[in-house]
Structure 1
Amino acid sequence: MFFPASQPDGWATHAALLDERGWFPVSIGSFLVRTPERVILVDLGLGTVDFSIPGVADFHGGDLLRALAAEGLSPVDVDTVIYTHLHHDHVGWTTNVAPAPNAREAQRVSGLTFARARHLVSKAEWAHWAGTAELVGPDPVAVQAPLATVIDHIDDGAEVAPGVRILATPGHTPGHSSLQVTDPSGSDPSRVIILGDVMHCQVQVTESSWTFAFDVDPDQGVVTREQLLRKLEDERTVLAGGHFAGNVFGRVLPAIARRVWSSGSVFG
């Protein structure tokens, strides 16, 4: 359903990525980037939700603040929020309200969860969703309105913190961005690429032509994915796939017959 090109039997060689029901599980959350002076969150997950769309997906979220607390952090410690894009599963903790289809009553938005942080997104992404109320997009009341007066825009190549640089990766959405994280001192040559939704599942490392159901520009998405993958076949590069349940971090191994995903011992 979510990867139309995979039908009817494209998953036969990728069964290890599926659960016992034949569904592919995904993780949905944030990446925490800490430097001696900065605390950055990349994307804000689902928020506190618990609902199902029969035959399609189950959504369960609500652990972000507890996960931050386990790192000794509270919302006031976060100084920067970077959105790779504004789909609903990347903006859920923007405020205290995470709209869900089964919400029994409207909640009042009390303000930004990370009120002391700069909130950053590409200009093209903000313009694409402004004033819209699509189910997969940012809720006008819970997300767009609270951000309207505080959102700042980021450009391709911008360094938003020492060693944290924006990579424009359009296709899934018009203003989609990824991030490159490196050692600003240059002493460590490795880098981490936070993908956003350039890829939704490890399968797209191998099946780079498989588009996703909610890609705004599927053809551009394929071009972006393939160009990025060619640049990432490097043992010094670690990919961080926000939806790669089970193995969020891994490397892209150069193609022999075809590319494969490797998640073992990526950090030593």
Structure 2
Amino acid sequence: MSATSAPRESVDVGDIRVTYLPDGEAAVAATALFPTSTPELWDLHRDLFDADGKLLLTLGAFLIRTGDRTVLVDLGFGPDSMSFPAADGEFRSGRLLTSLREEGLEPSDVDTVFYTHMHVDHVGWTGTNGALTFPNARHLAGEGEVEFWRTPDNPLAAVGPHPEAVLGPLDGRIESIADGATLAPGVSVVATPGHTPGHCSLVVSSGSARAMILGDVLHCPAQLTDNDVSLAFDLDPVLAAKTRDRIAAELEGRPETLAAQGHLTGSVFGRIMRGESRRTWSTAVATS
């Protein structure tokens, strides 16, 4: 069966609700996006491919409702679809605001936007017609992230935030948040660098329930099978692999802790398990 992008779905973490809001999908050549991978590795993961033989990645954002707070984690790819020659693929996007409204919310209802990092597929709805799409929200990113993307001659500029469309509206409106800081009640920041310098994940906890929104620590289950499979756009592949191994070791075999990864197909919620001497991803049952 061919892979399908993840739907809008929710899980309850104690009193906190986490909802995945689809924006679209990317269809790419697996060995182009993951240049250290092999065709033999992907033979173990044919369920991740679409009918055209492309690796399918979901694009979207996470909505966290905790107490009276409304938080968006990442902002998808944005209203445009486009080819992506660097990975012999394409982005098909534009659904995020519709997904948000299906949850009964308008952009003005969001009080916080948190970027796990600022690659192009995580910042796409930052601005609309030169103004912030979420005008009432604080905009936050990990320490060093914004500064990295404002560096002249950045080697990864082609996959980073657009200087006018994204960084322009954020000028004077984006703040840094430190490792370990509380973002909202029950939601804390954990530094997970490597993919980008200021890459961060979020820990969501309420009572005995716990979940972790991974950002791009993990892109697909093949990186659990082989931790050395790095993305073409990892700034520091060695550090990214160390971070991925550290987080996976923390999560594996802990049924009380959900993981959420926004590029997965089928469902973005699951658990990291260990079986037959290797890690695997086990999809969790969402509440809606």
TM-score, normalization: structure 2?
A: 0.83
Residue of structure 2 equivalent to 1:16: 47
* 3-state SS of paired residue (2:277): coil
Residue of structure 2 equivalent to 1:174: 197
Residue of structure 1 equivalent to 2:246: 227
1:128 paired to 2:148: yes
Change in 2 beyond 3 A, CA 1:113/1:266:
closer
Residue of structure 1 equivalent to 2:231: 212
Contact 2:72 2:113 in 1 (8 A): yes
C-alpha separation in 1, matches of 2:73 and 2:266: 19
Letter in 1 for 2:81: D
Contact 1:238 1:250 in 2 (8 A): yes
Q: CA deviation at 1:192?
A: 1.2
Structure number having the greater strand percentage:
2
Unaligned runs of 5+ in 2: 1-31
C-alpha separation in 2, matches of 1:53 and 1:199: 20
Which has the higher relative contact order, 1 or 2, with Cα contacts under 8 A spaced 6 or more apart?
2
1:91 paired to 2:123: yes
Unaligned runs of 5+ in 1: 97-108
Contact 1:131 1:140 in 2 (8 A): no
Counterparts of 1:111-122 in structure 2, within 5 Å, are: 111-122=131-142
Give the one of 47, 51, 57 matched to 2:89. 57
Counterparts of 1:1-268 in structure 2, within 5 Å, are: 1-53=32-84, 56-96=88-128, 109-132=129-152, 134-183=157-206, 186=207, 189-233=208-252, 234-265=254-285
Give the CA RMSD over aligned residues: 1.7
C-alpha separation in 2, matches of 1:256 and 1:221: 24
Q: How many residues align?
A: 252
Letter in 1 for 2:106: S
C-alpha separation in 2, matches of 1:264 and 1:250: 4
C-alpha separation in 1, matches of 2:38 and 2:225: 16
Residue of structure 2 equivalent to 1:105: none
C-alpha separation in 2, matches of 1:123 and 1:53: 29
- Matched-pair identity in %: 47
Q: CA deviation at 1:58?
A: 1.5
C-alpha separation in 1, matches of 2:187 and 2:284: 24
C-alpha separation in 2, matches of 1:222 and 1:3: 13
C-alpha separation in 1, matches of 2:284 and 2:263: 17
Residue of structure 2 equivalent to 1:103: none
Name segments (4+ residues, structure 1) moved above 6 Å: none
Q: CA deviation at 1:73?
A: 0.3
Q: CA deviation at 1:8?
A: 4.0
* 3-state SS of paired residue (1:4): coil
C-alpha separation in 1, matches of 2:223 and 2:210: 21
C-alpha separation in 2, matches of 1:232 and 1:58: 32
Change in 2 beyond 3 A, CA 1:225/1:69:
same
